[in-house]
A and B are shown apart, each in its own frame.
Chain A
Amino acid sequence: MSIRIEQVSKLYQGVPVVNDVTIEIQTGEFFVLLGPSGSGKSTLLRSLAGLTNIDHGRISLHGRDVTELPARRRGVGMVFQHYALFRHMTVAQNIEFALRIRRVGAAQRRRRRVELLQLVALEGYDERYPSQLSGGQQQRVAVARALAHEPAVLLLDEPFGALDAKIRVELRETVRAVQRRIGMTTILVTHDQEEAFALADRLGVMQMGRLLETGTPEQLYRYPATRFVARFLGAANLFLGEVSRQGLHLGAATLAPERAAGVTPAGSEAVLVVRPEDIEVAADATELGAHNFASGTVEALTFAGHQQHVSVRLDELSRIEPATANAASAQRVTVDALRSAAEQMAVPLQPGARVTLGVRRVHALPTPISSFNLMTCSDNEAAQLERSPLLAQLVSSMQARVIRRGEQLEAGICVLPLDELAPTAIAAAVEHGARRVLCIPAGAGVPQRMLVHAGEAVRRADLLALVSSVMRHLPIEATAVTLQHPQASRSEVVETQRTLLDTRAELRGSHGLDLRSDRFLGDLPAWLGSVVAQPETALLVLGMNPTRDLAARLNSEMPMLFRSGGHVDLLLAFGRAA
């Protein structure tokens, strides 16, 4: 293991900009951290180099714990976006800097410099000053300088950001070739998806301080786990579909999932991802090679060189629903398709033409949160819920749809106001099939932390799928809590500890996320009491069994939650009804 980042968090004014990130990077691997600006990717990289202190976690390089080491003792090579070459030194002096610091003899320094300049294809530039070089050449020197002291790892912070498009591609290839040749473990930070695909052995996508997903470029492109990654790595049509034992249903089409849906249980709603290039456009259904799923009218055609973007407005009869919030006007669902030159030749299109659409591939997101269903008596109440900071944050970062009083309670998440009537309402919702219920008190602030308690016999996979979905979209710390009886026997203590470790391991294994763990001495009411007593707002995630006397149980076991005065949000996950 070359680089091990364990639960690293960095707070800025109390808000985590890097939130419990755990990654392991193999020796010789080229790892790319991809994310929009402000996602925490640069902060994470700088913390590896020791240029930013972290508030929590451990970092080790080649098995050496460097968490406490100052930057100069970490032995990493860092390349900065704006080169950071020393202007008053020649190329040679710049490259030899790290060796001079280490008191390496002149002859050896020279040998190393010649070798490095050859590596980055800048032979003979030794005596130039940085100001006499182009941007691309300067960045080559910066790479050579970072490699001079044979660092444990090479870190590149948006190294091509300040360069022209053409030089960027050229330099990208150089960096990739150099990395391959010397087999250096490398982490590169970028916001450019194309760059990430071109370079990465493996890539991690960051958003709001969380490492959302990691995998090979192909894995992430084909099987994203979140709406964000689906759309950040290229264009994607997101629809609400259904999962059954036969497969994935999208409109008229039923497709076998390419991957075992795993966490998306059969018989429930799912978010389906269809890449534009997986959509086939034909004049009528008989000409389609792929599964026919809808028909519509061509709205716009855009020329893009070797490809053609087609925007098709679906007929209402197609019964296709978008999965994203901003396309909520269900009357006008449009589908984006991408056609190759061959397809354009075979089926010429004009705006306004009637077409039939086929789909070649569908991927279902493993998130249980396909939509938010507001279960309120009045629109007024619904509007109030939508305005609550928690729901607003979730909806905006998930881009999920909000439905008012939807019929299908088993789909997505039911949202209720948290008040004294909530136990009855929750019980009623569960009675009608609801499996996940989010209760938000009036006037609640943004939650400062998230506490997860598995509680009763809910399937851990289900609970973790829900927890990971929420974690990915809230920039707050998450902690898994187990309760332990004060007079617990030794074996019980061990058992509790093991459950916690298993939970964390499973979350990391299947979702790539990490959370804190904590143990509370006492029973459930005592713990809930202590949570309610804290001044900061918390989001409480509890697993429960959907028993018949649910309302009574809620009222008797956790009455404090329903009278908490508005600083506990409650997310309940119920096991499957027997």
Chain B
Amino acid sequence: MKPALLRRPRRRQVLPGFGLTMGYTVLWLSLIVIIPLSAAFLSAAHLPLSRWLQILMTPRVLASFRLSLSASLIAAGINAVFGLLIAWVLTRYEFPGRKLLDALVDLPFALPTAVAGIALATLYAPGGWLGRLLAPLGVQVAFTPLGITAALAFVGLPFVVRTLQPVLGDLDRDLERAAETLGARPSVVFRRVILPALLPALITGCALAFSRALGEYGSVIFIAGNIPLVSEIVPLVIMTKLEQFQYAEATVVAVAMLLLSFAMMFAVNGAQLALQRRYQSRR
């Protein structure tokens, strides 16, 4: 019914370069990311389920997963508290040296993990600057799960602070003042006004810190001691299996971990979207 007189196929985009950039992006993405990643999944998919269970259900692998998860979770918790505090201090207060500290927060991003690893190991070793102070208290950090947690807290800090800072900066301070004029005590203002607004960013930041901690290798291995069943994290298990040329086993553990990370990523995105929607619709 539609007259064909003036109809014609159209260029899809007005701005040139769509085909070129799309082609290049997809090609490069496939070569560097998708094909190698699917290699891991395909290699692991070859193996029967029984073999999977056999590899994953060994006490050593299970212990490493337990350790990685719990240490990362605790580290993320520490970062939630101190990250929030540092972000607050850096955005809300003006004091000498603030800019320097602000720049320093990114140190864990910029410092190579191996360097951080040996530095932390040296600090917390029984004879180190901090280890020496802690030893009389009966606390041993190096070569224990505690050391792993400390290293993971180190690498995760900037994620929380940098996620919170822009949100804190944008937070309308009239909200707090309004709450105060309505008679709310500072603790109430924080709990009922500030925290809900920060929650999406806080969750994102913690999740990023957690996910980074889960896969962290360089800064942990020096301080961990790497004792099987006690202080061996998942990436190290993969590394060890690789060095022993147990490729199939390494791949299975790696894929299990990848699945965990991806599930985390999607859950966080979902939670963040939901929270944001709720927060925005409330306004």
Interface residues of A (CB under 8 A from B): 7, 50-58, 70-71, 449, 451, 477, 479, 516-518, 530-531, 534
Contact A53/B14 with A449-B1, A534-B1 known, Cβ cut-off 8 Å? yes
B6, B11, B16: the one contacting A53 at CB < 8 Å is: B11
Extra A-B contacts (6), CB below 8 Å, given A56-B7, A518-B2, A530-B1:
A54-B10, A56-B6, A70-B16, A479-B2, A479-B3, A531-B1
A451: chain B residues within 8 A (beta carbon):
1
Asked if B14 and A50 sit within 8 Å, CB to CB, the answer is yes
Asked if B6 and A517 sit within 8 Å, CB to CB, the answer is no
A57, A70, A71: the one contacting B6 at CB < 8 Å is: A57
> Least Cβ distance of A527 to chain B in Å?
10
Asked if B14 and A516 sit within 8 Å, CB to CB, the answer is no
> Closest residue to B10 on the A side, CB-wise?
A53
> Closest residue to A72 on the B side, CB-wise?
B16
A52, A449, A530: the one contacting B14 at CB < 8 Å is: A52
B10: chain A residues within 8 A (beta carbon):
53-55
Complex formed: what's the CA distance from A210 to B99 in Å? 57
A71: chain B residues within 8 A (beta carbon):
14
A52: chain B residues within 8 A (beta carbon):
14
Q: Is the interface of B mostly helix, strand, loop or mixed?
A: loop
B14: chain A residues within 8 A (beta carbon):
50-53, 70-71
Interface residues as binary, B135-179 with A (CB distance below 8 Å gives 1, 0 otherwise): 000000000000000000000000000000000000000000000
A517: chain B residues within 8 A (beta carbon):
3
Complex formed: what's the CA distance from A487 to B11 in Å? 40
> Closest residue to B13 on the A side, CB-wise?
A53
> Closest residue to B7 on the A side, CB-wise?
A56
Chain A CB within 10 A, most for which of B2, B6, B10, B16: B6
B12: chain A residues within 8 A (beta carbon):
53
> Least Cβ distance of B71 to chain A in Å?
48
A55: chain B residues within 8 A (beta carbon):
7, 10
> Least Cβ distance of A73 to chain B in Å?
12
Contact A58/B1 with A52-B14, A71-B14 known, Cβ cut-off 8 Å? no
> Least Cβ distance of B254 to chain A in Å?
43
B16: chain A residues within 8 A (beta carbon):
70
List residues 1-28 of chain B with CB under 8 A from any CB of chain A. 1-3, 6-7, 10-12, 14, 16
> Least Cβ distance of A298 to chain B in Å?
42
> Least Cβ distance of B185 to chain A in Å?
43
Asked if B3 and A516 sit within 8 Å, CB to CB, the answer is yes
B1, B7, B11: the one contacting A518 at CB < 8 Å is: B1
- Please, how many residues of chain B have a CB less than 8 angstroms from a CB on the other chain? 10
Complex formed: what's the CA distance from A94 to B176 in Å? 46
Complex formed: what's the CA distance from A56 to B10 in Å? 10
B1: chain A residues within 8 A (beta carbon):
449, 451, 479, 518, 530-531, 534
> Closest residue to B16 on the A side, CB-wise?
A70
Complex formed: what's the CA distance from A56 to B2 in Å? 11
A516: chain B residues within 8 A (beta carbon):
2-3
- The 3 A-B pairs at the shortest CB distance, nearest first, are namely A53-B10, A518-B3, A56-B6
> Closest residue to A518 on the B side, CB-wise?
B3
Complex formed: what's the CA distance from A57 to B7 in Å? 8
Q: Give 20 pairs: A residue, B residue, CB < 8 Å, sorted on A.
A: A52-B14, A53-B10, A53-B12, A53-B14, A55-B7, A55-B10, A70-B11, A70-B16, A449-B1, A451-B1, A477-B2, A479-B1, A479-B3, A516-B2, A516-B3, A517-B3, A518-B2, A518-B3, A530-B1, A531-B1
> Least Cβ distance of A14 to chain B in Å?
12
A449: chain B residues within 8 A (beta carbon):
1
Complex formed: what's the CA distance from A358 to B2 in Å? 52
Complex formed: what's the CA distance from A71 to B2 in Å? 28
B6: chain A residues within 8 A (beta carbon):
7, 56-58
> Least Cβ distance of A5 to chain B in Å?
12
Interface residues as binary, B89-119 with A (CB distance below 8 Å gives 1, 0 otherwise): 0000000000000000000000000000000
> Least Cβ distance of A16 to chain B in Å?
12
B11: chain A residues within 8 A (beta carbon):
53, 70
A58: chain B residues within 8 A (beta carbon):
6
Complex formed: what's the CA distance from A527 to B141 in Å? 87
> Least Cβ distance of B83 to chain A in Å?
35
Complex formed: what's the CA distance from A477 to B16 in Å? 30
Complex formed: what's the CA distance from A516 to B16 in Å? 32
Complex formed: what's the CA distance from A530 to B10 in Å? 29
Chain A CB within 10 A, most for which of B1, B3, B14, B16: B1
Complex formed: what's the CA distance from A479 to B4 in Å? 13
> Least Cβ distance of A212 to chain B in Å?
22
> Closest residue to B11 on the A side, CB-wise?
A53
> Closest residue to A68 on the B side, CB-wise?
B8
Interface residues as binary, B264-281 with A (CB distance below 8 Å gives 1, 0 otherwise): 000000000000000000
B2: chain A residues within 8 A (beta carbon):
477, 479, 516, 518
> Least Cβ distance of A528 to chain B in Å?
13
> Closest residue to A54 on the B side, CB-wise?
B10
> Least Cβ distance of A566 to chain B in Å?
19
Complex formed: what's the CA distance from A356 to B11 in Å? 64
Complex formed: what's the CA distance from A71 to B11 in Å? 12
A56: chain B residues within 8 A (beta carbon):
6-7
Complex formed: what's the CA distance from A57 to B8 in Å? 10
Complex formed: what's the CA distance from A55 to B4 in Å? 11
> Least Cβ distance of B168 to chain A in Å?
28
> Least Cβ distance of A370 to chain B in Å?
32
Complex formed: what's the CA distance from A518 to B6 in Å? 12
Interface residues as binary, B54-75 with A (CB distance below 8 Å gives 1, 0 otherwise): 0000000000000000000000
> Least Cβ distance of B116 to chain A in Å?
38
> Least Cβ distance of A90 to chain B in Å?
25
Chain B CB within 10 A, most for which of A52, A56, A58, A477: A56
Complex formed: what's the CA distance from A479 to B5 in Å? 13
> Least Cβ distance of A517 to chain B in Å?
7
> Closest residue to A8 on the B side, CB-wise?
B6
> Least Cβ distance of A508 to chain B in Å?
16
> Least Cβ distance of A346 to chain B in Å?
51
> Closest residue to A517 on the B side, CB-wise?
B3
Complex formed: what's the CA distance from A70 to B17 in Å? 13
Complex formed: what's the CA distance from A341 to B74 in Å? 77
> Closest residue to A55 on the B side, CB-wise?
B10
> Least Cβ distance of A466 to chain B in Å?
21
Complex formed: what's the CA distance from A58 to B6 in Å? 8
Complex formed: what's the CA distance from A402 to B158 in Å? 64
> Closest residue to B12 on the A side, CB-wise?
A53
Complex formed: what's the CA distance from A576 to B90 in Å? 82
> Least Cβ distance of B5 to chain A in Å?
9
> Least Cβ distance of A280 to chain B in Å?
49
> Least Cβ distance of A455 to chain B in Å?
18
Complex formed: what's the CA distance from A365 to B11 in Å? 42
A50: chain B residues within 8 A (beta carbon):
14
A57: chain B residues within 8 A (beta carbon):
6
Complex formed: what's the CA distance from A53 to B7 in Å? 12
A51: chain B residues within 8 A (beta carbon):
14
> Least Cβ distance of A299 to chain B in Å?
37
Complex formed: what's the CA distance from A108 to B33 in Å? 52
> Closest residue to A71 on the B side, CB-wise?
B14
> Closest residue to A47 on the B side, CB-wise?
B14
Complex formed: what's the CA distance from A451 to B2 in Å? 11
> Closest residue to B14 on the A side, CB-wise?
A51
> Least Cβ distance of A200 to chain B in Å?
28
> Least Cβ distance of A481 to chain B in Å?
8
A7: chain B residues within 8 A (beta carbon):
6
> Closest residue to A531 on the B side, CB-wise?
B1
